[in-house]
Structure 1
């Protein structure tokens, strides 16, 4: 996360909290990673820990070990850690630049001089090597990057008033995997797409505690990531304009103040600034409303200066209810609580052999046998037209009811969007060489996900949808591979705006997993549902978004399975199922 600009001497604790951001899961190493706490447990009552300051006469190795321990303070503070540094190093140390998450630390002891002589340098200094496994890193705003590689740091220690102190600390903090698991949780920063129409979440990781409202706001003020700036934008002023703290009153009102005067902002910009703050701060336990003031100008929602956390819902993703659809006995059916009924209109009578389908309020599209044509009609099956191609994967409707089509002419991936009578190619150079098997748009239309199959096996990728200022689709940013501990991930769809659900192999057959798009956490749906999917060779997954109870799969024998809320997997008595999807 980022943080309000504040002097090191005055608020190093706040800076550390703002830097040390994170999620409720351990770092994946092998096998599915499961959460150690409920999704709504933000650890506000977590055990407090005040580390010891340096002991008189401590050896160089003891100083390094004490320094590592001091960075595990909770509530987060770097004051004690700074006491293990020389005065000059403490003044120049930058604990807020990043967080490195490690495991298996080894302090090697005082290093010998290269010529085999004394370990002490000519100035009386010594060096101590710290080895560890570098599991992951969080940037200044808390964005997660997996590393999982050997790491090491060599510290130089000097005598200060007869005591050893570290003269060259690393930038940022070092925290072990247990601290990360116990005290970090996942949050979203909300920015806008380029047209300023949709709020787009950006997952980050923050240490929990009383300063959460402050650190979330400061991180939001840091703006979108560099690689996201062609697709997203912010209406927040810079961190330098943000007051040092965001207090929360006993009535649950978060008070956000800026030095900039907002009177010069347009009404549109004021509304979007408010929306970013309200959507971001609504994640803080106990916050019921947000008050935003810039100079002498208070921003409002519906004329009210105290903006409730329910405000600005229109900037979020569609709230239309997810529905499961399938092709059963060559008819498009809707599956509801384990019961299937044909949809009204022509598709409910004859699906024309469709191998894959996409269903929205505005229409139905199906990939015809052979995969070289898509039939597109209204919901009732009227205004039919056929779009030709080569090797279509499943089509998908976005939140604006535009139909996305992906095929592979000449073996190269092509992305097109169908709107009214127009079919437009969307530049997507980063997809060209991928063996795409599934393509899905996120609920907010801001990202896309693809499942792929290639020489290196199966994988998941996520990228951003770029729109121009008029809200026309401009391109797809190159996708990034999503790290997951599940084997052979496939049939991915969006479980939320920042999480994918997919099928993956396990020792008991294919199961359903969920992964955060930054790869920080893979969880098994068994932990959510309590029910193991039978080993039936699950082939296609349809899962509702945001904890929707919808959960269906097809298997290798084209049978349809359903998991009712709180129940066990049930085989539905239907004819062969040849397609399965989630629609509206």
Structure 2
């Protein structure tokens, strides 16, 4: 693959510098504010404005803090400017998120000072608060003048720039839920909403009606007609119109979207909703998550997932402290290099047939394995939502979808359109589909990338909207898996930080407790209740939530057996 990762970052940086240097950015007529209701009388955020006699560098730093407050059409930020500039400044053209802001004086004149503003762009906020990860440099020039004895900004680029800490302090991530293309499962669409606005539920429902963010949209299926409108909340009832053409089934599925979005945002547990004057769901005046449990987008931490391990080339089942080979041929072959298991008991495995040949095999855990294809290298398989199709990578480049007929057991394969990945430097060593199959995470050349999966009318699958996340891993990534909340668990070769967590939208990454892990971490897996890793010595586990310990324990029944974890999804 061509060298693309670093060149893209440099190109973005140069393009951005060229824009900000001339104090303009490409105009976007779409609304770019974080939310649709930022100017509420209920906004209790204190007004942040310039202080009397404030030095110019301190005033400029306070301006960037105020830029994170969108209330009143960015009233706080505008108060730091000369009135003429304040009227023409458009912060909605772009909202860039930088790690931090560095100021350097470049020119001083009588009553005037010019600063160079630098930082590293880590992402941007798009329409509706959707976060898009980026990795580029930022540099702009800003001029301040003394007006009536006080410093004020008189020249600055369009668009808003906020620091990462202000994003975390002033905004909160919330999830909207939309259906993947088969409409069998809900997928999370993470948004950053300004904390000072009230009411938050109104904003969430408005965004739900507007639909998924641009990146996620190709992987979703819409239920709502164009006429669908949110009328607001009255007496605790969410009111909609323009839904008369919808079937009752689609209204029920939309109700699941609504209830899970509001419930998981902490907006309550019971909800009332009407469409065109009638209950949204016939016979259901009050709705809760109990009525839509089958669409739960997050498994409970108390739910039990089937754990398998790959040990000495065979597949073993782990139940409590009992560990034994599966009853099918996968439990005895002894040449399996990697595998995945579906919730329905289908295993997809990569078998080593010779030093230069690997074979892809599929079958039931209780039966025989059928062969699909062979190559010099094959990546660990990963299953789609229905468990009848799994993906792998041939020779580090060609992503292949393998389908097993549930009726006949016949296995076929077809290439996935991964043209958007082709320009990225390095081999694709790991791919993992999310539980819904709508998202994909990849390790390419040691770096982590995410994208979404779309399916055309002809059935062909394609990977689109690919972004690099967590560039701070510096090419050390070796293994990854999706967690039930949509984040990623990543194992690396780094001795100091062998395990990482990356947020679903790439907005943050953090090191995990690693008191007794010995890098490299060659395998990871996550169930709703437990995290698993395989380091240089053993397979270890830690509770997914509620643990204050920095130490991982060997898995009961597997002490002394170095194995790789597999969670059946």
TM interval, short-chain normalised: 0.7 to 0.9
In structure 1, the residue matched to 2:207 is: 219
In structure 1, the residue matched to 2:23 is: none
Superposition TM-score, scaled by structure 2 size = 0.76
2:173 pairs with 1:186:
yes
Q: CA deviation at 1:577?
A: 4.3
Contact 2:179 / 2:220 at 8 angstroms: preserved in 1?
yes
Report the Cα distance in structure 2 between the residues aligned to 1:563 and 1:287, rounded to whole angstroms. 31
Report the Cα distance in structure 2 between the residues aligned to 1:4 and 1:541, rounded to whole angstroms. 35
In structure 2, the residue matched to 1:347 is: 330
CA distances 1:355-409 after superposition (whole Å, capped 9, x unpaired)? 1122222322322223521232223114x42112202221222220123142426
Kindly report which structure 2 residues correspond to 1:72-471, keeping only aligned pairs within 5 A, or say none.
Answer: 78-85=74-81, 90=86, 93-96=89-92, 98-102=94-98, 103-106=100-103, 108=105, 112=109, 128-129=114-115, 131-136=117-122, 137-144=124-131, 145-147=133-135, 149-155=137-143, 170-209=157-196, 210-235=198-223, 241-243=229-231, 253=236, 255-258=237-240, 260-294=241-275, 296-301=276-281, 303-317=283-297, 321-337=304-320, 339-348=322-331, 350-360=332-342, 361-370=344-353, 371-382=357-368, 384-390=369-375, 391-408=377-394, 412-420=397-405, 421-425=410-414, 426-432=416-422, 434-453=426-445, 458-468=446-456
Measured at CA, do residues 576 and 15 of structure 1 come closer, stay the same or move farther in structure 2, by a change above 3 Å?
A: farther
Contact 1:368 / 1:375 at 8 angstroms: preserved in 2?
yes
Measured at CA, do residues 64 and 431 of structure 1 come closer, stay the same or move farther in structure 2, by a change above 3 Å?
A: closer
Measured at CA, do residues 417 and 387 of structure 1 come closer, stay the same or move farther in structure 2, by a change above 3 Å?
A: closer
Q: CA deviation at 1:240?
A: 11
- Tell me the secondary structure at the aligned position of residue 244 of structure 2: helix
Report the Cα distance in structure 2 between the residues aligned to 1:164 and 1:481, rounded to whole angstroms. 40
2:505 pairs with 1:518:
yes
Measured at CA, do residues 239 and 512 of structure 1 come closer, stay the same or move farther in structure 2, by a change above 3 Å?
A: farther
Match of 1:13 among 21, 39, 43: 39
Kindly report which structure 2 residues correspond to 1:552-571, keeping only aligned pairs within 5 A, or say none.
Answer: 552-556=532-536, 559-563=538-542, 566=547, 568-571=551-554
In structure 1, the residue matched to 2:490 is: 502
Q: CA deviation at 1:534?
A: 3.0
- Tell me the secondary structure at the aligned position of residue 322 of structure 1: coil
Q: CA deviation at 1:491?
A: 0.9
Contact 1:195 / 1:468 at 8 angstroms: preserved in 2?
no
Report the Cα distance in structure 2 between the residues aligned to 1:540 and 1:86, rounded to whole angstroms. 57
User: Which deviates more, 472-481 or 367-376?
Assistant: 472-481
Report the Cα distance in structure 2 between the residues aligned to 1:62 and 1:329, rounded to whole angstroms. 62
Report the Cα distance in structure 1 between the residues aligned to 2:203 and 2:319, rounded to whole angstroms. 43
Gaps of 5+ in 2: 1-30
In structure 2, the residue matched to 1:482 is: 469
Measured at CA, do residues 88 and 536 of structure 1 come closer, stay the same or move farther in structure 2, by a change above 3 Å?
A: closer
Contact 1:132 / 1:152 at 8 angstroms: preserved in 2?
yes
- Tell me the secondary structure at the aligned position of residue 479 of structure 1: strand
Report the Cα distance in structure 1 between the residues aligned to 2:322 and 2:269, rounded to whole angstroms. 40
Contact 1:105 / 1:133 at 8 angstroms: preserved in 2?
yes
- Tell me the secondary structure at the aligned position of residue 385 of structure 2: coil
Report the Cα distance in structure 2 between the residues aligned to 1:281 and 1:236, rounded to whole angstroms. 18
Report the Cα distance in structure 1 between the residues aligned to 2:477 and 2:394, rounded to whole angstroms. 21
Report the Cα distance in structure 1 between the residues aligned to 2:273 and 2:86, rounded to whole angstroms. 35
Q: CA deviation at 1:514?
A: 1.0
Q: CA deviation at 1:442?
A: 0.4
Superposition TM-score, scaled by structure 1 size = 0.74
Q: CA deviation at 1:94?
A: 4.3
Report the Cα distance in structure 1 between the residues aligned to 2:114 and 2:199, rounded to whole angstroms. 35
Q: CA deviation at 1:238?
A: 7.5
User: Which deviates more, 57-66 or 176-185?
Assistant: 57-66
In structure 2, the residue matched to 1:25 is: none
Contact 1:328 / 1:574 at 8 angstroms: preserved in 2?
no
CA distances 1:20-49 after superposition (whole Å, capped 9, x unpaired)? xxxxxxxxxxxxxxxxxxxxxxxxxxx954
In structure 2, the residue matched to 1:40 is: none
CA distances 1:137-173 after superposition (whole Å, capped 9, x unpaired)? 32232222344523324257696x9987656665454
Gaps of 5+ in 1: 18-46, 113-117, 120-125
